[in-house]
Amino acid sequence: MLYIAGSKRKLHFVTVHAPDTQPSTDAKDRRNVREFVMRDYLRQKNKPEWKLAPPTVPEPIDAHMSRFRSSVPQARVKTSKRTRKPRFVPKHLPKRKERQLIPAPVHTENHAQQDERKSDASIHDLDMLDAFQVFSIDLSDSETMGLLQYYYTSFWTNSYAINPQGSWINVALTDSATMHATLNLVAIHRRDRFSIDLSKVYFQHRGKAMKIIASRLNDPKDSLNDATIGAVAILATSDNEFDWSRETQMSHSKGLSRLIALRGGIEALSTNEHVQRVVAWADLLQSAIHGTGLQAKIPSSVRLPSSNEPETSISWPGMSETASDSLLEGLPPKTREIIQELRVLASLKAVLLVDRTQKLCKIFSDMLWKLEHEVLELRQNPMVRQNHDRFNGLLGEEAMVTAVGTGALIFSYSILRDLASPILFRRLRINLVECFLAAQRGSQSTGSERQPLGSTFWKNRDENEAALLLWLLYLGWKAVPGEDEWFAKEAAQLCVSNRILSQNSVLERVQSVVPQAQNLALATAEFWRGIEEILWSGTIRPVRPEPYQGLGLP
């Protein structure tokens, strides 16, 4: 035992003998050490001035971390492998793959070279959008990558009607339901344009979008946000472009109408202009195919320019304004208005293909929305047409407005919107056939069979009226390739009855209705070859007046 001067504490030295490789086996020695340590701790704790505090350091220690770090790196301790599988692993999330970085193409001032390269471009900014792969949708899948490439290069950038800003829709890139619904729609569009098999990609993205939307409908906040409404609108659009039953095609449209009503109308979607236009597009498409009433009105934010603005007075060089205006004389006022709006829109589209500006895109989108909305409203509300002057043409006043409106929808969806939708075009062609057959039945005493070639039904038509009728027959012929026999026969009868017997005369009359569209969709020589083949045959088989015969629908 050793006493230290000036200190009241006693130090006890205890010697414990044990081998170096194993702990001491002397239980008595270990017990004595523990008892002494505990008694000393309790004795100090009972003192009034005692407190548990770290020792004070008079001077700070600089670079203290490096002082105690070994200069020689030590090997990491290997942890034991887990033999038990995790319990809660989502099965619907596939393992992400490493994406290949694609460099961005070099920009050039030459618009022709830029547009030529755009069709072969890849999604160079995909890694910029999801640099850390945090999106809920896996963008590394090869099929998804192919759809995104088509979406970016051919679908979205050319969709002037709902994309005035010319950029990717911001909601679709950050919301999983909207992205799955968008890829579902893009898969249908790519199939209709290039006959690419949908395989499982269509049903995969459609099912995932519906599953996510169904989970959100239980939450009032999530069910009425822009992303959910936009996803439902895109699903409604894609359903109408697939061969579903009528009930299936209308299911999402009914749900969309309910969500818009709960949200407060289409005006309440003003926080996101993209979603607002996608909703309007779905509503217009539903009305055009199924003949239902329009649910979304044109919001006050849509700007409708006046005719004296320089942006809307664009003319195509080399076209005679006198000849174009003479064609409109004598037509019902609403028919003249529809054709004039088509001419302005065709001029704007021709300019946008060369020099795309956001201002012109906005005007084009607003005017196209207004035109399609008015045409579909006229079909649902005949009272609007009662104040027209009497029209003594072949189709009559009301049928002429209906036929020109249907032709305007075919022109709008196929040329102005660049939309590939055989189901829609078949329905519009049937509506156009019904207009001609109704006029034909009214001019025949017995309407069981068609009259022979050169009959009085098409005879002695005014030159301008003949041009307009030939334009309508051309649109019906062009709508769905391979299902054009009826329109070619009727065009042949019109040409024989009115002495239009050359290719140039046929194409000139077709292009005279909307001359600004000559570079967008030329009346091809195939139209004349179809007419010429029937003319040389000399006979036409009787055609029954049922509007659905030979049109691909029951």
Tokens standing for residue 246? 């009528």
Q: Are 284 and 373 in contact (CB under 8 A)?
A: yes
> Among the listed ranges 26-30, 71-75, 130-134, 377-381, which one has the minimum average pLDDT value?
71-75
Q: Are 204 and 181 in contact (CB under 8 A)?
A: no
Residue 346 tokens, joined: 């065709």
Angle at 106 between CA 147 and CA 351, to 5 degrees: 75
247-263 pLDDT, tens digit each = 888 888 888 989 999 88
- Please report the pLDDT score of residue 232 as a whole number: 93
CB neighbours (10 Å) of residue 548?
Answer: 12
Q: What is the predicted pLDDT for the residue at 46?
A: 75
In sequence order, the β-bridge partners of residue 11 are 2
Question: 414 vs 154, which has greater pLDDT?
Answer: 414
Note the pTM of the prediction, 2 decimals. 0.70
Higher-scoring residue by pLDDT: 431, 86? 431
Pairing assessment for the beta strands 10-11 and 2-3 based on DSSP bridges: antiparallel
- Cβ neighbours of residue 286 closer than 8 Å, sequence gap 6 or more: 236, 240, 250, 253, 292
| Dihedral of the alpha carbons of 450, 451, 455, 459, in degrees to the nearest 10 | -30
> For residue 211, is pLDDT > 90?
yes
Produce one character per residue of 487-508: b if its CB has 16 or more CB atoms within 10 Å, e if not: bbbbbbbbbbbbebeeeebbbe
**Looking at this protein, which amino acid is placed at residue 298?**
I
Measure CA 486 to chain center.
Answer: 33
Domain boundaries, the chain: 142-290, 310-537
Residue 438 and residue 123: Cα distance in Å, rounded?
51
pLDDT in tens, 261-303: 988 888 888 777 788 888 988 999 988 888 888 888 888 777 6
**Mean pLDDT to the nearest integer, 201-223:** 89
Instruction: Note the pLDDT tens digit of each residue in 97-153.
Output: 554 444 444 444 444 444 443 434 444 455 555 556 666 677 667 788 788 888 877
